[in-house]
Chains A and B, each alone.
Chain A
Amino acid sequence: DVKVTQSSRYLVKRTGEKVFLECVQDMDHENMFWYRQDPGLGLRLIYFSYDVKMKEKGDIPEGYSVSREKKERFSLILESASTNQTSMYLCASRVPQSNEKLFFGSGTQLSVL
């Protein structure tokens, strides 16, 4: 079975902290994505990566950065966490054909206090 694993299920951080959200996939997928999901707003794309060391901004990249040093791992970084970054964060991966489906992780519910 394909697997996308997000390191934390729940995370509580303080305003101003640097936060790392980790995602690992075991399917040798080139493409990886970070979304956030908020009630009433749906899923919004933060960043994506076509391959190792490549990254592209999505619709809402402000306040975030990413790292893709290895093919299987895609990290989302909140440089200085703020309360408006409290959200469910979802990682996904897929093969490098754009008409192929995404495989999602279980999500990380981040609360910034």
Chain B
Amino acid sequence: DAKTTQPPSMDCAEGRAANLPCNHSTISGNEYVYWYRQIHSQGPQYIIHGLKNNETNEMASLIITEDRKSSTLILPHATLRDTAVYYCIVLIQGGSEKLVFGKGTKLTVNP
């Protein structure tokens, strides 16, 4: 599976959009991009995933560049409860189910 690179930390003001970047320049054509988050002392939580089209659900939006070498997770109106570590993971659909978690981005939403 391709490796991902994320900034170690980011800050965001409450009510503003949080844009979390992820670089996956070695991604292959059949690898999906997954995003998870882990709120302190809890288990990781699935957020969203995509292949090449932009995706949106009730939690967030995922924007994948046309060359698929990077993506951005968008939390449109961040709240204090969105403070967490966010992980970007690539996974071959139809292949192994093994998720490899990196260090992620620690997002702090400030009041």
Q: Do A and B originate from a single complex?
A: no
